[in-house]
Amino acid sequence: MRLDRLWVHSAKARLKRWLLDEVVQAPWEPILHPSPTRLTWAALCTILGNLLFYWIWSTLLPQTYESLPVRVTIACLGFAFFAPSMRRDTGSRQSALVFAAICWLTLPVFFFWMYWMNGGSSVWLASVSAMLLIYYHLTDWRLATAGSVAGLVLGWLASHGALVDAPVTPAIPMENAVVIGFAWSVAILLGASSANLRRTRLINTLSTMGVMAHELRTPLATVNLMGDVLRNMVQQDVPESKRKKLDELATRLQNLVRSMTRQIDTQISNAQLMRLPREQSTIMAAELVQEVVSQYPYRSSRERDCVQVHIQTDFAFTASRPLFAQVLTNLLKNALHALAAASTAPSPGDLRVEVGIHRGKGRIAVSDDGIGITHDQQQRIFEPFFSTQAGAGNGLGLTFCKNVVETAQGRLSVHSQPGLGAVFMIDLPLTLQATAAPATAPAAPG
């Protein structure tokens, strides 16, 4: 009996851990594999599919109930997938809400309603079963489960609530419940398994990268020691001509070590991409921005001088300070790369970091006058492993930034024109009602 109690206790603990890791704390994916191409196909299937099946079920193979106005209304919902605001950032919260609402209306609500209106006919039994598999393929299995339950209830209420004159149909056989239950359970199993597989692959890849990045600290420590040795040599009896060169070489080595150390910290943070720390504190935006800008490991004095900080209105927000500092470091690094790729040398003001209030939310904007980002790249720039720097970068920096910002209930967006630079905007909910007064003059990095 004691062994049985221990086994039950262990099983309950494992079940609780699984529920926390895979159901409660696992990140939601309202749009699986978001991309403009996927949205285009979803739109075409919604528009053309409803018109095609209306013709099939009303003319070619007539069913008990069909409605052209309802079919046209459902088909028109597909045009929302072509909205520029949605296609510009398929991973944004707004796009996710629109996608989830349209899928919910066009799939479980509509299909279950038609199932009840047609008296559970064999055609709509098969249609509902196929719908469940499609729905779980398009969105997170937890969202699909909640949406399917709500669609079942609303479909029944709509068909039995005198909203329309339902035709007289025979009683729905109980066997249908078994078939729908089987299709539903298979859809849940496939959806949960697919989500676990995607997360496991990403976590394993990022963990490996994190370990490799951590191992680079040892040779970097040796390089940093070499810089100290060179600085000590400068203090000895060395000719002035060599002293200056040795001091410059030591400075470059130590700047390189600082830069690589920041990159290592980024990679270790990226390795926790799917398990972001939940520790949060109140952060003053201006203080954080000035700290990150002043401590960034610039490669030259010209690069440092091109960065300017403008504090219009300070504000407070709640987030993880170390992670947010890494976000700003990533955005600065990307902006400096864009400037370096431009044909002209950077000059003061070519990279600007602005802090202010926009439409009731705090905004941190990182703007550069670099080469810009093409429209096609903007569609995918926040996707994991997608990089605009061919042969450089791992494509995880902006994905990490987006996850950190969204963990703070904020939004990261980009606006850019090729050849005219780019602006990355972080919009955050305010923690405090009171905000600091605008600065009298732009602050430059120290």
Q: What is the pLDDT of residues 287-333, one digit of tens each?
A: 999 999 998 888 788 888 899 999 999 999 999 888 899 899 989 98
Query: Which of 327, 326, 314 minimizes the C-alpha distance to 282?
Result: 314
pLDDT value, residue 53? 96
pLDDT value, residue 269? 59
The Cα 239–Cα 249 span in angstroms is 15
- Please state the pTM of the whole predicted model: 0.58
pLDDT value, residue 1? 47
Give the model's confidence band at 439: pLDDT under 50 very low, under 70 low, under 90 confident, else very high. very low
Residue 23 has pLDDT above 80, yes or no: no
pLDDT value, residue 2? 52
The Cα 238–Cα 231 span in angstroms is 11
The more confident residue out of 174 and 61 is 61
pLDDT value, residue 445? 46
Tokens standing for 359?
Answer: 């439409």
Instruction: Dump pLDDT digits (tens) for 275-294.
Output: 555 567 899 999 999 999 99
CB burial of residue 198 (10 Å; 0-12, 13-18, 19+)? middle
pLDDT value, residue 131? 96
